Amino acid sequence: MFGQYAPNELALPSRRRFLQRAGLGLGSVALGTLLHEQARAGIAPVNPLAARPPLFPAKAKRIVWLFMTGAPSQVDTWDYKPELQKRNGEVLPGSDPKTGFFTTSGKILKSPFGWNQHGRSGSWVSDILPHLSKHVDDMAFIHSMHLRANNHAPASMELMCGVDRPGLPSAGAWVTYGLGADNQNLPAFVVLHETRPRGDDQIWSAGFLPKTFQALTLDARRKEVIDNLARAKDESESQQRASLDLLQSLNRDHAQARPTQADLLSRINSFELAYRMQMAAPEAMDIANESPATRQLYGVDKKETETFGRQCLIARRLLERGVRFVQIFAGKGTGGDGSVNDVPWDGHNNIETNHRSCGAATDQPAAALLTDLKLRGMLEDTIVVWGGEFGRTSDSQGSVGRDHNPKGFTIWMAGGGVKGGVHYGATDEFGYKAVEDKVHGNDLHATILHLLGMDHEKLTYRHNGRDYRLTDVGGHVIRDLIA
């Protein structure tokens, strides 16, 4: 006897029992942390996509990002450099043959395109973008973009996720996490692509955020079909609802017993969203009822603009119906040797052939989107972003191509509180690297979040003991771009 207790009453629990109790305790702590994190962001566990008010009055409600996969050359699109024309073939001062992914010649390559000034702002635009050139007074040009990564996948991740490594949430996921969805019958974040860009899922990933904030991806090669959405032909609506209710009950019991697995709740919510999408999504993406004039505006019925035109028109329809963030990745392009390139603006071999084909495929649809949004009164609260993952070298790769260049490139924004007709930052006289008011992707994100009514330093998520944010440990709002 030990005092008043018998020996068996003081016996320690078995290892299995101890681990079971400890596991449940830690699971409860993890669940509490998860729920606290969501509560701190104003997210209701029952409906994590419920619309949430911005932190302060927002100038924009939504965003469409036109991602020019493969990286357009800044000195052949928006950043006119007369010195390139004057000094073609001369040695490029300060050139580094290893700036890009391959090796460059160190000799200046002039732009093979004609250039003209447009709009009241007198903005210079290459002749491969005749439709977009009509909208320069709505655009804010950032000529001093720069990144660290010099290859497609890591640069795309750096531009969209704030850092150049996989596993981090993308801008679309962060915006959805911060603001939720305006339409509960459609996803808040949608990605449209043709060929999958280098880095694919990591560019639009939800990372460590709950998978509720993951993008719905639509493949143009399959005419934007959503897999597994339609109800089975031999199942009535009431039968499907009963099946989903049973499945939801079983899933909730399963999730309750596994409180550390946050994605189980996301999975439950995804079933419910898919059910609500069965009517809303097909209607939103059906362009058959658009007028002939609208289809002609977007170039839907022309071979070279059909795909990107359809994607831009679907994007407008999604934005119109309350989708928060739409991103379109430009599809196939033609290489200088006649080959089909899955990173279309990647003009290594022949910048003229490559960029002319890419301009012909994307210029009219992108301009149509701006026109259409403006006519519908939506441009004033919709941010439009255009650009690639980096720029291209001012010296040649081979004789008439350009290599990757993360040191300086151009991205423009329009609508949604953006000041039109302005040019921010600058590259050197050859367009080789940013030298004035340099802008990193973190600064671009901080500015976009500000326009949407969010403070980039306060939009955080705790993961593995650290508070993460889209802008990592950098970023500042570019006030000169805000109207």
Question: Can you tell me the mean pLDDT for 51-56?
Answer: 95
Residue showing tokens 């950098």? 474
Question: Can you tell me the mean pLDDT for 296-318?
Answer: 96
Look over the chain and give the mean of its residue pLDDT values, rounded to a whole number. 87
The strand pair at 62-67 and 115-118 is best described as unpaired
How many helical (H) and strand (E) elements, i.e. helices and strands, does the chain have?
Answer: 11, 18
Report the alpha-carbon distance of residue 436 to residue 480 in Å, rounded.
Answer: 14
Angle (CA) 424 430 432, round 5°: 75
Question: Can you tell me the mean pLDDT for 58-83?
Answer: 98
Predicted pLDDT at 341: 62
Concatenated DSSP letters for 140-180? Answer: EEEEEE--S--SHHHHHHHHHHSSSSTTSPPHHHHHHHHH-
Kindly tell me if the per-residue pLDDT of 446 is higher than 80: yes
Predicted pLDDT at 48: 83
- 390, two tokens: 């980096």
Domain topology for 48-231+274-481: Alkaline Phosphatase, subunit A (3.40.720)
Least confident window among 83-97, 246-260, 315-329: 246-260
Question: Can you tell me the mean pLDDT for 153-160?
Answer: 97
350/8: higher pLDDT: 350
Question: Can you tell me the mean pLDDT for 219-236?
Answer: 71
| Dihedral, CA of residue 316, residue 321, residue 324 and residue 326, to nearest 10 | -30
Q: How confident is the model at residue 49 (pLDDT cuts 50, 70, 90)?
A: confident
Question: Can you tell me the mean pLDDT for 15-20?
Answer: 58
Predicted pLDDT at 6: 43
DSSP-derived secondary structure letter, 108:
B
Residue type, 387: G
230/203: higher pLDDT: 203
**For the segment 319-374, what is each residue's pLDDT rounded down to a tens digit?**
999 999 999 999 865 444 555 566 899 999 999 999 999 999 999 999 999 999 99
